[in-house]
């Protein structure tokens, strides 16, 4: 998939763990793992909004487009 | 009782009745081969599709009927299992998609082979060239087979949508 999720990078920069983020945005750790590993087919605006709010970042910091 | 369970029970009853019918037919064939073909010839003399007059015609038609009904038994077995799967497991699984497709293909195949076999039997045993595709016997069953294949394609699309839905975070 040409869309890359940079969640690990942002989490490392903020010094936050995945479980903590999952708790704060109200999704399961399993679903967050699906997102982090690039297996997700889609992301809801509400989830993206919650991630941006908790990590204090822009959607573009998390999602990156690369050509195959 | 739910309609799906009624349907499952109907398929189960039809399946076991077909097995009993198959065993009786097999008994007819064994009786004709080893004991007295004359008795069986007498019973089947005025068969619906074509008249069975010789021993060869009797053996061939009985052997063909056994193979044909064997395929129908397998179709009912697949239907029975499919209904069980649809009732007790999650919907749109690969097994359900494959089952619908296989059942549809088998129904179409056996219906065409049945029609051709009657044509061949009439030609060989009665010297009559006659090919008939009656509305209910042929086209209706073919339509059911095609519908099941179409249903398998719908289930396949539904599986993709379900997968996408499950992988939406």
Domain extents in chain A: 3-65
Q: Rounded to the nearest 5°, which phi and psi values hold at B123?
A: -65, -45
> Using a CB-CB distance cutoff of 8 angstroms, which residues of chain A are in contact with residue B168?
40-44
CATH topology (fold) of A3-65: 434 Repressor (Amino-terminal Domain) (1.10.260)
Q: What angle do CA B122, B67, B64 make, to 5 degrees?
A: 20
Contact A40 B164 (CB under 8 A): no
Asked if residue B45 has pLDDT above 90, the reply is: no
| pLDDT the model gives residue B129 | 64
- Residues of chain A neighbouring B169 (CB-CB closer than 8 A): 27, 31-32, 34-35, 40, 42-44, 47
* Residue of A63, A47, A55 whose CA lies nearest to A13: A55
Confidence of residue B48 (pLDDT cuts 50, 70, 90): low
Interface contact flag, A42 B169, Cβ < 8 Å: yes
Closest residue on chain A to B161 (Cα): A41
Residues B91 and B110: their CA atoms lie apart, in Å, by 28
pLDDT on residue B82 = 94
Please indicate whether, in this complex, the C-beta atoms of A40 and B168 are within 8 angstroms of each other: yes
pLDDT score recorded for residue A11: 93
Sign of CA dihedral B147, B149, B150, B154: positive
Distance between CA atoms of residues B167 and B29, nearest Å: 57
Read off the pLDDT band of B11 (50, 70, 90).
very high
Q: How far is CA B125 from CA B43, B47, B117, in A?
A: 17, 13, 12
- The pLDDT-based confidence of B61 (bands split at 50, 70, 90) is confident
Run of H or E including B137: none
């Amino acid at each position: 998939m040409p869309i890359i999720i940079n969640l690990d990078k942002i989490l490392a920069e903020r010094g936050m763990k995945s479980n903590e983020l999952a708790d704060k945005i109200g999704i399961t750790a399993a679903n967050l793992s699906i997102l982090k590993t690039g297996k997700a087919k889609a992301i809801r605006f509400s989830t993206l909004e919650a991630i941006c709010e908790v990590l204090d970042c822009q959607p573009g910091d998390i999602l990156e487009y690369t050509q195959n | 009782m739910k309609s799906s369970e009624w349907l499952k029970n109907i398929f189960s009853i039809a399946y076991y009745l077909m097995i009993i019918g198959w065993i009786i037919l097999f008994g007819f064939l064994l009786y004709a081969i080893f004991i007295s073909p004359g008795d069986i010839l007498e019973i089947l003399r005025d068969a619906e599709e074509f008249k069975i007059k010789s021993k060869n015609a009797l053996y061939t038609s009985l052997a063909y009927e056994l193979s044909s009904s064997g395929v129908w038994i397998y179709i009912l077995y697949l239907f029975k299992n499919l209904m069980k799967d649809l009732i007790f497991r999650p919907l749109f699984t690969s097994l359900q998609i494959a089952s619908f497709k296989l059942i549809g293909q088998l129904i179409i195949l056996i219906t065409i082979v049945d029609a051709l076999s009657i044509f061949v039997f009439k030609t060989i045993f009665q010297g009559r060239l006659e090919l008939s595709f009656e509305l209910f016997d042929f086209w209706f069953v073919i339509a059911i087979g095609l519908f099941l294949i179409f249903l398998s394609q719908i289930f396949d699309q539904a599986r993709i949508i379900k997968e996408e839905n499950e992988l939406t975070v």
